[in-house]
């Protein structure tokens, strides 16, 4: 935009010139056109200039609100009510003449001669004369020379003596100004500001005086302002604001008048005649169409002054259409300078139209307008000019794109501000529905600059094609040629061919500079919007331009940062990376940056980049032709480049043990270009994280060691030697952290690596300390005569499985990931903890003894300590006894665990053993617990390292027996005591109380089974009864066990019966009683019959006796053939009870006894009824249908069988023995 | 100058790690020779174009608060009057990019489509006109993923760095077919 003439593109805002207060800022430039100076109208004021602080503050405020540099968008309208371009003049200014003089060489003016403005094509003095359309001088006249408002400042004197005099002077001065203005012919409005003097004067007098001045001078109230003295800054600003707002209305009015005037002239419909008819040139004067363009353009400009952008746009479009119509521009011959002037005017109009559109936020319309102008001009140039296939057209295209970018920068569209990160503006509503072309969406300036750059590149291409003849300066080539090329090149706003592409030795256009400038501007726009890849792309293009001008230093500066953290490489855009690398390499080799050259060469050796022809593919030749002062040392990290060397380090197994060696393989694969020179590595060092010492492989040609080759794989086994580090780097952080010493593992191998080959080195790595270890990095060192190079590759955690080479020919996939790491286990303990002969299970009530043997399998004596931990519920106390030591160690009992800690076992000699015994008190309940034995020992040779061996045992304690119980009633033989015998008081002193109450007899039958896994020997059984004090109880075992006990096999049931006789102490006590009984089994293990006798106590469910209800007991005895059935009814209650007995006849027996009878029972008494049965069947159970009924309650009582009587659901059954056993009396008592 | 209509100049599939998975370049119509024989840019320039579209993907991620449900980002940006870049992002972060050459094809080449009359008028693109392209590309990509021998982790490793390119011939053919058959107004590919 800077290429256009001054003022041609500025946004027009009303011009305000202040008079009376001097200022250095933006002075009114009175002499832009020296030609007019003698004719210019001088406006002069004789009043002294104002120099008070107040006046300066006022002017300062006005100047601050100069709107010349505001962004070109409608946002500003809301902020400020006025817009002025402010110029200051002290006391005088020159206005350009209204009428041009006729040139002297033209004869005396005819009477009919009409003089026109010097800016008009009608005046012979104007450069436009006779057929120019309009030029920037006219624009400048309005923008810079002719103010819309002249703001004159005066000071009101406060001295009463001089007041009238001074006031009159002001009046005459104002009048003089007014007259001068009228004389000048311009309709500039005059506004007056009167400032009050410093000293306060009476308010009424001032008002009067002001009114007087105003009236005398005939000034409108709206053009007359007063600033009282000593107002505060705020107040001053308010007044200034008011003043400016008011006079802005005048300014608008001024330009409206001018616009109206232009339209009036247009509507006249006749082309005015020049002052003097043209005689030179084509002697062509402007046609009506031409005049219409001029008038429309003027209307548009005046509309712009009024900030009526819509109106301006319409007028501009009208002017544009007319200008490019067949009647205006097509009539101008293309050789004439007017042709280029017309093109310039078209450009100016188009740019101003674009600004109008952007002003209103019509972004899509603006882009379309931009394209339309480009297309129109291109058509025009194609048909009338010199076509579009030349550098001039491309120069214009580039300019046209740049203009859009510049416009966008000036307009500052809020939608496209960098902070919004928006790349393009959304289309305005009007354009929304259409089929939008993507480019119709207004993109940010970066894109426009980029387009400009591409056009500039094309322009250069055209320029380079200029034939040499045309490139000669005009003075050195024949005149005919100069004339010839004047028409064959489009030189609109661009240099002549001899400057566009000068022959060597002459100055001319520097295309690369222009291109780089555009690209850099674009790049900064893209960077502002976080389009970093785009910016990188532009840097790359810039680099190409620098290459063209061989500015190597700039390339390095520009591309090196890009190359260093290049996202293209890591993201896999290798073609881009390659392009960048080559560009940088070329520059670096010229600048002498050996490090860059080497690093880039290292990277480019990778096969994934294309191999360039003419490239040596040999690292050792990289520095050929580069001057370096000293031998460079280059360090390359794998993160920075895409190296052609890939390494993997694999441990055979996931785990290893300290003190042993681990099999490992290092494989190096070269992905260099096939055909490139083999690389010879001098030294290769693998550093480990963890406790493994660095591994150093050194190159030795024809090194010893088996070496097998199969296709591309070379497999060799390396024997490593541990040596103190000789020349390991001191700055190696890994070894410094891992080791106090710098001992390394050394091996000699052949490290020649041909492209595509893989070197595999198999080795045994000694492991030292427990922990995690992994191969951290590999360092390749290459020493050449010309340079030293070190390449460091880190091993990454990866999911890609590595290979394990079984041999050169075969390899297998490692199934685990991260095969470069190994878990080193501690040195394995060789102390053994053995449990000595134990039974399968332990039983409750048995004291448990566990014996363990500690066998020292180490090669040395070991001083050992022992910890024992028992974990379980309700642990019994336990003690640990050590063989050969006297005092056992009791365990510290806790809730969940009991611990014996730190029992010293002394030194156990190698291959010797020690036995410890753990004794645990018997458990009452079945349980289980976990026993942990931990032997901590250290060898005599290495007392610092403790070695730990742990053994865990599960111990189960189970119940050996379970039992079930039956309590059967029996008939107590003794008669009941009677109520009628007085018991007498108990003698307190008697030791043994004699029970005097009721007694009952029972039989307790116990069945016990062994649940032990092994056979047990039951030595004795017993019942222990705990009776309440009111009851006395006796038990007798019915059958004793055989001498030496009974052997009880697992899962067999044994029975033991006990007679139980209970007596109440007192007859008065007739409540029920319950007995707590327990069953006691004394036993020992069958396997260990002589061992201790264990006592298992099994609780018996509570026994309830002495019920208060009457009971009916049936007992049976046999007398020869007869069965004697005795029914005994016991009434233990305090009531008199009556029972009815009835025995039904049966087919199974005959009986004697009362078939039906009534029995009366006194309180606390019992009675028996006897039936004698003659059984009719033998060897069977018979069921006597005997019913005992409580007469009072009408309740049938159940007959409870005693010995020899069987009970079932329906009643009781009596056994009739078979015949031959008749005489045997079964069980009768 | 013969009337031209938009055509696909380049289709790109970019992996989760911003790595190029696949690039197909199509020749554009050249008014000088009146044939569609050469692409409008060099392969390197297309690579740069696709790579710079990643900027826009990143920007969109930053500026739009909630990710677009469909994944269709529409117009990413236009490079100049001819080339415009459209983008689509799948749920797994794979980006599909279509570079459109607004003058990529001669309008009368469309006679086969039977809409020759309308063709000449096509200068711009409607809102959803790229949808079928991305739908077809996604279908092709899904088809590729269904191939048990295609390991997506190999092509976009979870480590976030690099990845292999797609080598499937079928996929490449699909891309070629999409690029060659698409033209404005086509609703399914």
Residues A493-519 have pLDDT tens digits of 888 888 888 888 888 888 888 999 999
Closest CA in chain A for residue B76: A423
Rg, chain A, Cα only: 63
Is the pLDDT confidence value at A704 over 70?
no
A531:B153 CB<8 A: no
B80: nearest CB among A421, A451, A567: A451
Interface of A with B in 508-547 (CB under 8 A): 526, 529-534, 537, 540
Q: How many CB pairs under 8 A join A and B?
A: 111
| Contact residues on chain B for A567, CB-CB shorter than 8 A | 18
Is the pLDDT confidence value at B35 over 90?
no
A421: nearest CB among B52, B62, B122: B62
Q: Which residues contact A560 (CB under 8 A, 6 or more apart)?
A: A584, A596
Interface of B with A in 90-129 (CB under 8 A): 100, 102, 122-126
Dihedral of CA A48/A52/A54/A55: which sign?
A: positive
CA distance A393 to A186: 42
Q: Does B2 touch chain A (CB under 8 A)?
A: no
Q: Which residues contact A483 (CB under 8 A, 6 or more apart)?
A: none
Instruction: Give the start-end residues of each E strand in chain B.
Output: 4-14, 20-25, 28-30, 35-38, 72-78, 83-89, 95-106
Residue range A643-678, pLDDT digits in tens: 888 888 888 888 888 777 888 888 888 888 888 888
Residue range B36-75, pLDDT digits in tens: 788 888 999 999 999 999 999 988 888 776 555 678 888 8
CA distance A295 to A121: 13
What percentage of chain A has pLDDT greater than the value 70? Answer: 92
3-state class (DSSP) for residue A943: coil
Is residue A239 within 8 A of residue A225, CB to CB? The reply is: yes
Question: The tokens of A444 are what?
Answer: 């940010």
| Contact residues on chain B for A568, CB-CB shorter than 8 A | 51
Q: Could you give phi then psi for residue A1160, rounded to 5 degrees?
A: -105, 130
HSE-CB for A273 with a 13 A CA cutoff? 6
Model pLDDT, residue A48: 82
Is residue B103 within 8 A of residue B109, CB to CB? The reply is: no
Closest CA in chain B for residue A374: B81
Tell me the mean pLDDT in the region A376-396. Answer: 88
A435: nearest CB among B43, B55, B125: B125
Q: Which residues contact A806 (CB under 8 A, 6 or more apart)?
A: A812
Interface of A with B in 293-312 (CB under 8 A): none
Is residue A312 within 8 A of residue A352, CB to CB? The reply is: yes
Dihedral of CA A40/A43/A49/A54: which sign?
A: negative
The pLDDT mean for chain A works out to: 83
- How distant is the Cα of A867 from the closest Cα of chain B, in angstroms? 48
Model pLDDT, residue A810: 83
CA distance A27 to A12: 18
B52:A438 CB<8 A: no
Question: The tokens of A901 are what?
Answer: 């800690």
Q: Does B1 touch chain A (CB under 8 A)?
A: no
- How distant is the Cα of A433 from the closest Cα of chain B, in angstroms? 9
- How distant is the Cα of A398 from the closest Cα of chain B, in angstroms? 13
B48:A434 CB<8 A: no
A579: nearest CB among B17, B44, B58: B44
A568:B51 CB<8 A: yes
Tell me the β-bridge partners of A1053.
Answer: A1009
Q: Which residues contact A1063 (CB under 8 A, 6 or more apart)?
A: A995, A997, A998, A999, A1031, A1032, A1033
Confidence of residue B111 (pLDDT cuts 50, 70, 90): very low
The string over A977-1006, giving b where at least 16 C-beta atoms fall within 10 Å of a residue's C-beta and e elsewhere, is beeeeeeeeeeeeeeeeebbbbbbbbbbeb
Closest CA in chain A for residue B158: A799
Q: Which residues contact A161 (CB under 8 A, 6 or more apart)?
A: none
Tell me the mean pLDDT in the region A167-179. Answer: 88
- How distant is the Cα of A438 from the closest Cα of chain B, in angstroms? 6
Comparing A814 with A1078, which gets the higher pLDDT? A1078
Tell me the mean pLDDT in the region A51-71. Answer: 85
Which residue of A571, A578, A797 to mutate against B (max B Cβ within 10 Å)? Answer: A571
Confidence of residue A733 (pLDDT cuts 50, 70, 90): very low
Model pLDDT, residue A990: 60
3-state class (DSSP) for residue A163: helix
Kindly write down the DSSP assignment for every residue of A844-875, as one continuous string.
TTS-EEEEEEEEE-SSS-EEEEEEEEEEESSP
Question: The tokens of A1054 are what?
Answer: 């044994």
Phi/psi class of residue B162: alpha, beta or left (left: φ > 0; alpha: ψ in -120 to 50)? left
| Contact residues on chain B for A440, CB-CB shorter than 8 A | 124
Report H helices in A687-798. Answer: 733-738
Q: Does B146 touch chain A (CB under 8 A)?
A: no
| Contact residues on chain A for B153, CB-CB shorter than 8 A | 799
- How distant is the Cα of B162 from the closest Cα of chain A, in angstroms? 5
Question: The tokens of A697 are what?
Answer: 């492989």
Model pLDDT, residue A277: 75
| Contact residues on chain A for B20, CB-CB shorter than 8 A | 571-573
Angle at A986 between CA A984 and CA A987, to 5 degrees: 120
Question: The tokens of A48 are what?
Answer: 């002294």
Q: Which residues contact A610 (CB under 8 A, 6 or more apart)?
A: A578
Q: Does A375 touch chain B (CB under 8 A)?
A: no
Closest CA in chain B for residue A440: B81
Q: Does A635 touch chain B (CB under 8 A)?
A: no
Model pLDDT, residue A198: 61
Is the pLDDT confidence value at A369 over 90?
yes
Confidence of residue A54 (pLDDT cuts 50, 70, 90): confident
| Contact residues on chain A for B161, CB-CB shorter than 8 A | 570
Running DSSP on this structure, what letter comes out for residue A135? -
Give the range among A399-403, A410-414, A755-759, A1043-1047 with minimum mean pLDDT: A1043-1047
CA distance A402 to A1111: 126
Model pLDDT, residue A739: 43
Model pLDDT, residue A1225: 47
Is residue A259 within 8 A of residue A302, CB to CB? The reply is: yes
Q: Could you tell me the CA-to-CA distances from A849 to A904, A928, A955 in Å, in that order?
A: 20, 15, 11
B47: nearest CB among A420, A575, A798: A575
Give the range among A993-1002, A1152-1161, B26-35 with minimum mean pLDDT: A993-1002
A436: nearest CB among B80, B124, B153: B124
Comparing B141 with A1046, which gets the higher pLDDT? B141
| Contact residues on chain B for A441, CB-CB shorter than 8 A | 75, 78
In 3-state terms, chain B is what percent helix, strand and coil (to 5)?
35, 25, 40
**Secondary structure element (H or E) that encloses residue A249, with its range:** helix A233-268
B51: nearest CB among A440, A454, A576: A576
Is the pLDDT confidence value at A996 over 80?
no
Residue range A302-315, pLDDT digits in tens: 999 998 999 999 99
pTM of model > 0.80: no
Running DSSP on this structure, what letter comes out for residue A366? H
Q: Does B160 touch chain A (CB under 8 A)?
A: no
B19: nearest CB among A440, A571, A575: A571
Which residue of B8, B52, B104, B160 to mutate against A (max A Cβ within 10 Å)? Answer: B52
Tell me the mean pLDDT in the region A116-137. Answer: 82
Tell me the mean pLDDT in the region A892-908. Answer: 80
**Secondary structure element (H or E) that encloses residue A965, with its range:** strand A961-970
Model pLDDT, residue B116: 39
What percentage of chain A has pLDDT greater than the value 90? Answer: 12
| Contact residues on chain A for B8, CB-CB shorter than 8 A | none
Q: At what angle do helices A337-359 and A363-383 cross, to 10 degrees?
A: 170
Q: Which residues contact A205 (CB under 8 A, 6 or more apart)?
A: A160, A163
Closest CA in chain A for residue B164: A572
Q: Could you tell me the CA-to-CA distances from A112 to A94, A115, A657, A1018 in Å, in that order?
A: 29, 10, 122, 161
Question: The tokens of A1031 are what?
Answer: 């009851």
Q: Which residues contact A731 (CB under 8 A, 6 or more apart)?
A: none
Model pLDDT, residue B98: 94
Q: Does A432 touch chain B (CB under 8 A)?
A: no
Q: Does A449 touch chain B (CB under 8 A)?
A: no
CA distance A573 to A594: 26
Please confirm whether the linkage preceding B151 is cis (ω < 30° from 0).
Answer: no
CA distance A473 to A1131: 156
Q: Does B32 touch chain A (CB under 8 A)?
A: no
Q: Does A417 touch chain B (CB under 8 A)?
A: no
What is the edge-to-edge ordering of all strands in the sheet holding A913-920?
A831-835, A848-856, A913-920, A878-882, A889-890
Kindly write down the DSSP assignment for every residue of A668-706, as one continuous string.
EEE-BPTTSPPEE-SEEEEEEESSPPPEEEEE-TT-SS-
Highest mean pLDDT among A304-313, A769-778, A864-873, A1055-1064: A304-313
Q: Does B157 touch chain A (CB under 8 A)?
A: yes
- How distant is the Cα of B87 from the closest Cα of chain A, in angstroms? 13
Q: Does A796 touch chain B (CB under 8 A)?
A: yes
């Amino acid at each position: 935009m800077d290429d256009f003439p001054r003022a041609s593109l500025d946004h027009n805002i009303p011009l305000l010139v202040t008079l009376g207060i001097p200022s250095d800022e933006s002075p009114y430039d009175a002499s832009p056109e020296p030609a007019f100076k003698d004719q210019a109208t001088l406006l002069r004021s004789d009043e002294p200039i104002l120099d008070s602080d107040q006046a300066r503050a006022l002017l300062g405020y006005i100047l601050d609100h100069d709107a010349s540099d505001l962004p070109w968008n409608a946002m500003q309208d809301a902020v400020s009510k006025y817009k002025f371009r402010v110029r200051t003049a002290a006391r005088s200014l020159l206005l350009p003449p209204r009428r041009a003089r006729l040139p002297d060489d033209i004869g005396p003016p005819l009477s009919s001669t009409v003089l026109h403005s010097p800016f008009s094509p009608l005046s012979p003095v104007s450069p436009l004369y006779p057929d120019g359309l309009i030029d920037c001088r006219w624009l400048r006249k309005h923008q810079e020379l002719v103010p819309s408002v002249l703001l004159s400042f005066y000071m009101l004197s406060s001295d009463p003596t001089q007041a009238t005099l001074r006031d009159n002077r002001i009046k005459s001065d104002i009048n003089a100004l007014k007259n001068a203005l009228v004389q000048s012919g311009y309709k500039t409005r005059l506004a007056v500001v009167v400032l009050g003097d410093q000293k306060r004067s009476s308010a009424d007098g001032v008002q009067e005086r002001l009114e007087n001045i105003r009236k005398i001078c005939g000034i409108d109230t709206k053009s007359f302002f007063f600033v009282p003295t000593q107002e505060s800054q705020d107040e001053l600003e308010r007044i200034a604001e008011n003043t400016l707002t008011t006079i802005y209305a005048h300014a608008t009015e001024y330009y409206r008048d001018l616009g109206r005037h232009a339209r009036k002239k247009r509507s006249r419909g006749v082309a005015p005649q020049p002052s003097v008819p043209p005689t030179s040139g084509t002697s062509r004067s402007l046609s009506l169409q031409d005049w219409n363009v001029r008038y429309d353009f003027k209307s548009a400009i005046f509309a712009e002054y009024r900030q009526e952008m819509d109106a301006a746009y319409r007028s501009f479009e009208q002017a544009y259409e007319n200008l490019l119509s067949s009647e205006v521009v097509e009539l101008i011959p293309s050789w004439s300078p007017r042709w280029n002037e017309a093109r310039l005017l078209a450009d100016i109009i188009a740019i101003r139209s674009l600004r109008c559109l952007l002003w209103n936020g019509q972004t899509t319309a603006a882009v379309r307008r931009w394209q339309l102008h480009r297309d129109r001009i291109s058509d025009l140039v194609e048909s009338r000019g010199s076509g579009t296939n030349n550098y001039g057209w491309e120069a214009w295209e580039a300019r046209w794109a740049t203009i859009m970018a510049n416009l966008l920068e000036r307009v500052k569209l809020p939608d496209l501000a960098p902070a919004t990160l928006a790349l393009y503006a959304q289309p305005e509503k009007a354009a929304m529905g259409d089929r939008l072309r993507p480019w119709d969406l207004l993109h940010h300036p970066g894109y426009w600059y980029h387009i400009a750059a591409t056009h500039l590149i094309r322009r250069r291409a055209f320029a380079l094609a200029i034939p040499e003849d045309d490139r000669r300066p005009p003075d050195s080539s024949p005149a005919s040629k100069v004339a010839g090329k004047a028409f064959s090149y489009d030189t609109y706003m661009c240099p002549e061919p001899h400057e566009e592409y000068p022959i060597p030795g002459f100055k001319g256009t520097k295309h690369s500079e222009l291109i780089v400038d555009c690209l850099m501007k674009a790049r900064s726009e893209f960077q502002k919007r976080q389009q970093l890849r785009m910016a990188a792309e532009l840097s790359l293009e810039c680099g190409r331009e620098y290459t063209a001008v061989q500015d190597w230093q700039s390339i390095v500066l520009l591309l090196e940062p890009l190359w260093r953290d290049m996202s293209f490489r890591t993201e896999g855009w290798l073609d881009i990376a390659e392009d960048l690398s080559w560009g940088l390499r070329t520059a670096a080799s010229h600048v002498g940056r050996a490090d860059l050259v080497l690093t880039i060469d290292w990277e480019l050796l990778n096969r994934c980049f294309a191999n360039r022809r003419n490239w040596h593919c040999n690292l050792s030749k990289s520095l050929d032709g580069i001057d370096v002062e000293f031998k460079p040392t280059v360090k390359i990290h794998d993160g920075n480049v895409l190296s052609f060397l890939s390494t993997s380090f694999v441990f055979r197994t996931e785990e290893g043990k300290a003190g042993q060696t681990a099999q490992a393989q290092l494989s190096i694969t070269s992905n260099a270009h096939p055909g490139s020179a083999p690389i010879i590595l001098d030294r290769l060092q693998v550093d480990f994280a963890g406790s493994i010492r660095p591994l150093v492989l050194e190159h030795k040609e024809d090194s010893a060691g088996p070496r097998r080759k199969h296709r591309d794989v070379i497999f060799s086994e390396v024997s490593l030697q541990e040596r103190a580090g000789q020349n390991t780097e001191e700055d190696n952080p890994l070894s410094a952290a891992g080791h106090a010493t710098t001992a390394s593992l050394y091996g000699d191998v052949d490290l020649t690596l041909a492209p595509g080959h893989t070197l595999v080195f198999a080795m045994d790595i000694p492991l030292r300390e427990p922990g995690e270890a992994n191969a951290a990095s590999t360092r390749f060192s290459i020493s050449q005569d010309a340079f030293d190079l070190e390449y460091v590759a880190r091993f990454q955690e990866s999911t890609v499985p590595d290979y394990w080479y079984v041999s050169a020919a075969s390899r297998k996939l490692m199934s685990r990931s991260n095969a470069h790491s190994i878990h080193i286990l501690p040195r394995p303990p060789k102390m053994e903890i053995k449990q000595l002969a134990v039974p399968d299970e332990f039983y409750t009530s048995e004291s448990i003894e566990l014996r363990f043997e500690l066998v020292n399998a180490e090669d040395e004596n070991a001083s050992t300590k022992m910890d024992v931990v028992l974990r379980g519920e309700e642990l019994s106390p336990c003690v640990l006894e050590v063989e050969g030591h006297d005092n056992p160690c009791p365990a510290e009992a806790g809730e969940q665990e009991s611990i014996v800690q730190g029992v010293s076992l002394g030194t156990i000699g190698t291959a010797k053993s020690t036995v410890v015994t753990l004794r645990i008190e018997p458990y009452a309940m079945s349980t289980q617990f976990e026993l942990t034995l931990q032997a901590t020992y250290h060898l005599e040779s290495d007392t610092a390292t403790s070695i730990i061996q742990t053994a865990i045992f599960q111990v189960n304690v189970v119940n050996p027996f379970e039992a079930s119980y039956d309590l059967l009633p029996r008939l107590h033989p003794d008669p009941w005591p009677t109520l009628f015998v007085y018991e007498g008081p108990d003698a307190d002193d008697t030791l043994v109380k004699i029970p005097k109450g009721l007694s009952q007899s029972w039989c307790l039958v116990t069945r016990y089974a062994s649940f032990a896994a092994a056979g047990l020997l039951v030595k004795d059984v017993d019942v222990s009864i705990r009776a309440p004090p009111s009851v006395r109880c006796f038990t007798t075992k019915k059958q004793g066990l055989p001498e030496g006990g009974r052997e009880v096999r697992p899962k067999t049931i044994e029975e033991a019966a006990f007679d139980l006789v209970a007596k109440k102490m007192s007859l008065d006590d007739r409540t029920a009683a319950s007995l707590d009984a327990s069953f006691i089994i004394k036993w020992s293990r069958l396997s260990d019959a002589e061992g201790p006798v264990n006592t298992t106590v099994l609780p018996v469910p509570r026994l309830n006796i002495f019920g208060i209800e009457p009971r009916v007991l049936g007992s049976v005895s046999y007398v020869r053939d007869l069965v004697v059935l005795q029914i005994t009814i016991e009434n233990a209650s305090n009531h008199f009870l009556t029972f009815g007995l009835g025995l039904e006849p049966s087919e199974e027996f005959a009986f004697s006894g009362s078939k039906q009878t009534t029995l009366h029972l006194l309180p606390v008494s019992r009675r028996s009824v006897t039936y004698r049965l003659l059984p009719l069947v033998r060897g069977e159970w018979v069921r006597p249908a005997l019913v005992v009924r409580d007469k009072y309650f009408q309740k049938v009582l159940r007959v409870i069988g005693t010995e020899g009587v069987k009970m079932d659901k329906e009643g009781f059954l009596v056994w009739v023995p078979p015949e031959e056993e008749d005489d045997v009396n079964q069980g009768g008592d | 100058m013969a009337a031209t209509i938009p055509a696909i100049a380049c289709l790109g599939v970019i992996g989760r790690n911003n790595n190029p998975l696949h690039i197909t370049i199509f020749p554009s119509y050249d008014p000088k020779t009146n044939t569609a024989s050469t692409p409008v840019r060099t392969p390197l320039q297309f690579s740069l174009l696709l790579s710079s579209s990643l900027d826009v993907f990143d920007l969109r991620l930053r500026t739009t608060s909630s990710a677009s449900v469909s994944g269709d980002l529409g117009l990413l940006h236009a490079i100049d009057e001819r080339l415009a870049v459209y983008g689509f992002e799948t749920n797994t972060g794979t980006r599909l990019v279509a570079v459109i050459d607004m003058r990529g094809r001669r309008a009368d080449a469309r006679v086969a489509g039977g809409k020759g009359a309308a063709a000449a008028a096509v200068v711009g693109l409607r809102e959803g006109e790229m949808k079928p392209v991305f739908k077809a590309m996604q279908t092709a990509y899904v088809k590729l993923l269904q191939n048990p021998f295609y390991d997506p982790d190999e092509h976009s490793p979870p480590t976030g760095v690099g990845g292999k390119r797609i080598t499937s011939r079928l996929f490449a053919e699909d891309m070629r077919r999409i690029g060659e058959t698409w033209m404005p107004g086509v609703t399914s590919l």
